[in-house]
């Protein structure tokens, strides 16, 4: 998505440790009209799938997940990173390793919300090593749901998680794929 690539170049900041800060429009502060455009662009890739739910993980996936679910007119389900008083009864769980925080968390969702009746689109703001997506896919599979594929705002292509999932057969669509990025040389996108 050309407009997203341009926005990343204009507003993004590259921090040490392969961190791309896009807090001015995608995290922290969300450019809502633009995110709605991103969602419109993204759902076109999955127009042949009868998606019943969008699945994401808190917290940074929720806004884009909401925008995508609104376009598809389906519910948004989000996995929590810890079990709280709001999640009770039978649950689905998956261990996810976070490279950003160098720790594991347990993605948790109530078993009521992902069932064999569902065809689920996985949505997240970033894709790097693919650990979060694998966790979301595991939750869907535990619930007996079909995974239609994954829609990502920004993929760090050089971290290979997306390509591994594509090789494993998942339809992974990213609105912008960063092939190379460094504070010195800037950002190069995958054509």
Q: Which segment (105-113, 135-143, 145-153, 175-183) binds a copy of itself by CB under 8 A?
A: 105-113
Our finding on whether 66 is near a copy of itself (CB under 8 A) is yes
Size of the site for a copy of itself (CB under 8 A): 43
Q: How far is the CB of 65 from a copy of itself (least distance, A)?
A: 8
Q: In this chain, which of 2, 3, 6, 29 binds a copy of itself, going by CB under 8 A?
A: 29
Q: In this chain, which of 51, 76, 107, 172 binds a copy of itself, going by CB under 8 A?
A: 76
Q: In this chain, which of 24, 106, 129, 146 binds a copy of itself, going by CB under 8 A?
A: 24
CB atoms under 10 Å from CB of 75, counted, come to: 12
Residues 6+ away with beta carbon under 8 Å from 5: 176, 189
91 within 8 A of 110, measured Cβ to Cβ: yes
How many angstroms separate the CA atoms of 158 and 42, rounded? 21
Q: Which segment (21-29, 43-51, 162-170, 181-189) binds a copy of itself by CB under 8 A?
A: 21-29
The DSSP element (H or E) to which 160 belongs, if any, is none
Helices 2-11 and 32-43, interaxial angle, to 10°? 140
20 within 8 A of 156, measured Cβ to Cβ: yes
Query: What residues line the site for a copy of itself (CB under 8 A)?
Result: 15, 17, 19, 21, 23-25, 27-33, 36, 53, 58-60, 62-63, 66-67, 69-70, 73-78, 80, 84-88, 100-101, 109-110, 112-113
């Amino acid at each position: 998505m050309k407009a997203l690539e341009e926005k990343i170049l204009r507003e993004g900041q590259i921090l040490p440790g392969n961190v791309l800060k896009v807090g001015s429009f995608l995290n922290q502060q969300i450019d809502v009209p633009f995110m709605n455009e991103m969602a419109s662009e993204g759902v076109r890739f999955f127009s042949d799938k009868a998606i019943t739910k969008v699945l994401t993980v808190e917290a940074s996936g929720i806004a884009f997940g909401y925008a995508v679910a609104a376009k598809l007119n389906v519910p948004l389900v989000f996995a929590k990173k810890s079990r709280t008083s709001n999640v009770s009864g039978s649950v689905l769980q998956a261990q996810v390793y976070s490279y950003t925080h160098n720790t594991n968390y347990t993605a948790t969702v109530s078993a009521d919300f992902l069932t064999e009746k569902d065809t689920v689109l996985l949505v997240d703001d970033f894709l790097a090593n693919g650990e979060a997506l694998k966790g979301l896919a595991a939750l869907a599979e535990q619930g007996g749901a079909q995974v239609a594929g994954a829609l990502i705002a920004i993929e760090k292509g050089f971290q290979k998680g997306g390509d591994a999932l594509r090789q494993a057969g998942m339809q992974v669509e990213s609105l912008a794929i960063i092939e190379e990025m460094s504070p010195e040389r800037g950002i190069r996108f995958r054509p």
